[in-house]
């Protein structure tokens, strides 16, 4: 068995492919360090390892660097081989200690389908998928461990048993979870491939501010870590070290109201993913000027737009406390039977109420 810290690097790359921002959710206290004269020209990973001593291994430091946990000024440094210069100041966000493994909890689950290999659930908004700092309990994983018993424990890893893809805490909708190692490998491969060579299909509905000029389009823009926030993503230059290929196809289903300039006040948009990056739909829609209603991370500049809405609509929109995003469709090949499985879930009550309010415009 290899060095556990070496496995962290591979696991981080896997999680980035599978929509799972591993390290940002694990981050703890920030440690600030200044390069002394005798550190001049040393590799960043080696210098940080020397500063931290035995507390964090060098391979773990490399994983943290690649994850964007090391910054100088307001810029994330993502290349472990970068040489440091005397007088430079670096900030390292050190991961918090974590429980060895999640515990089963008797929590309600909306199960759409289940067999010996997998379970498909309709995840409600507000439910975290797996334990992380600040949410060590009350997650989907805790609920599934109770529901599935020992059959799920350790499948695909101790910390995230069965998880092959992820939805944000405040995104609702269809998710599949593996119950065997065979199913976990097959589904993980399908999500990593994004359906290019198979039958994986994912469709989301979103309510956005204004409306795209075209009824359909494709957003092809690489995503990386937002240099201003360790937990957010941003469209970044293609050549940047942490840039990841990201493509979203969208189709406007309905436009609401008029801004008096030939445009709409809001729109219902369906998004289909060609890739599966963290916060992809939220970042991409904001990138083209149409952030999701309720998204305070990527649509903060649009908060005042609610004041322009009619009084009959304004309270409902203002009270909507999450990003208006729902994973309505998930289709995939069953890892055992090879049958094409297709699952849909209607938007939850809060998003339906928001849509009905916008219909008044």
Task: Give the three-class secondary structure for 223.
Answer: strand
**Cβ neighbours of residue 71 closer than 8 Å, sequence gap 6 or more:** 77, 90, 91, 227, 230
Q: Tell which residue, 259, 258, 359, 255, has the closest CA to residue 312.
A: 359
Q: Is 266 exposed, middle or buried (0-12, 13-18, 19+ CB in 10 A)?
A: buried
Distance CA 242, CA 124 (A): 31
The answer to whether residue 213 is catalytic is no
Cross-strand bridge partners of residue 76? 71
Distance CA 337, CA 326 (A): 28
Q: Which of 8, 20, 168, 170 is catalytic?
A: 168
Q: How far is CA 106 from CA 94, 141, 144, 152, 164, in A?
A: 32, 11, 9, 15, 22
Q: What does the DSSP 8-state code read for residue 244?
A: B
**Cβ neighbours of residue 168 closer than 8 Å, sequence gap 6 or more:** 279, 282, 323, 325
Q: What angle do CA 59, 192, 99 make, to 5 degrees?
A: 45
For residues 31 and 53, is the Cβ–Cβ distance under 8 A? no
Task: Give the three-class secondary structure for 145.
Answer: helix
Distance CA 176, CA 112 (A): 10
For residues 66 and 28, is the Cβ–Cβ distance under 8 A? no
For residues 147 and 197, is the Cβ–Cβ distance under 8 A? no
Q: What number of residues does the chain have?
A: 361
Residue 171, both tokens: 């995104």
Distance CA 178, CA 4 (A): 24
Among all residues, which ones are annotated catalytic?
A: 168
């Amino acid at each position: 068995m290899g060095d556990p810290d070496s496995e962290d690097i591979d696991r981080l790359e896997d999680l980035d492919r599978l929509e799972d921002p591993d390290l940002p959710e694990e981050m703890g206290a920030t440690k600030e360090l200044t390069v002394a004269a005798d550190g001049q020209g040393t590799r960043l990973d080696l210098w940080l390892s020397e500063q931290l001593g035995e507390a964090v291994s060098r391979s773990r430091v490399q994983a943290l660097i690649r994850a964007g946990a090391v910054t100088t000024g307001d810029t994330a440094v993502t290349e472990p081989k970068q040489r440091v210069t005397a007088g430079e100041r670096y900030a390292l966000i050190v991961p918090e200690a974590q429980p060895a493994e999640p515990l089963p909890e008797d929590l309600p689950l909306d199960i759409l389908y289940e067999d010996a290999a997998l379970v498909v659930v309709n995840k409600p908004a507000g439910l975290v998928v797996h334990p992380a700092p600040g949410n060590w309990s009350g997650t989907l994983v805790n609920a599934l461990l109770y529901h599935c018993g020992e059959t799920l424990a350790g499948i695909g890893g101790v910390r995230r048993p069965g998880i092959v893809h992820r939805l944000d805490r405040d995104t609702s909708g269809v998710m599949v979870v593996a119950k065997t190692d065979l199913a976990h490998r097959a589904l993980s491969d399908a999500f990593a491939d994004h359906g290019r060579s198979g039958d994986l299909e994912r469709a989301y509905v979103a309510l956005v501010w204004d409306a795209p000029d075209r009824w359909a389009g494709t957003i092809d823009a690489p995503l990386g870590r937002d240099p201003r926030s360790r937990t957010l993503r941003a469209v970044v230059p293609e050549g940047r070290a942490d840039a990841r290929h990201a493509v979203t196809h969208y189709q406007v289903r309905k436009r609401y109201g008029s801004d008096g300039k030939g445009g709409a006040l809001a729109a219902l948009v369906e998004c289909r993913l060609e890739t599966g990056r963290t916060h992809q739909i939220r970042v991409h829609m904001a990138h083209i000027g149409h952030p999701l209603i309720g998204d305070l991370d990527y649509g903060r500049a649009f908060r005042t737009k609610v004041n322009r809405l009619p009084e009959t609509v304004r309270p409902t929109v203002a009270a909507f406390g999450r990003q208006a995003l729902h994973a309505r469709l998930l289709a995939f090949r069953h890892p055992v039977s090879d049958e094409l499985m297709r699952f849909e879930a209607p938007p939850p009550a809060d998003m339906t109420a928001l849509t009905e309010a916008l219909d008044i415009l």
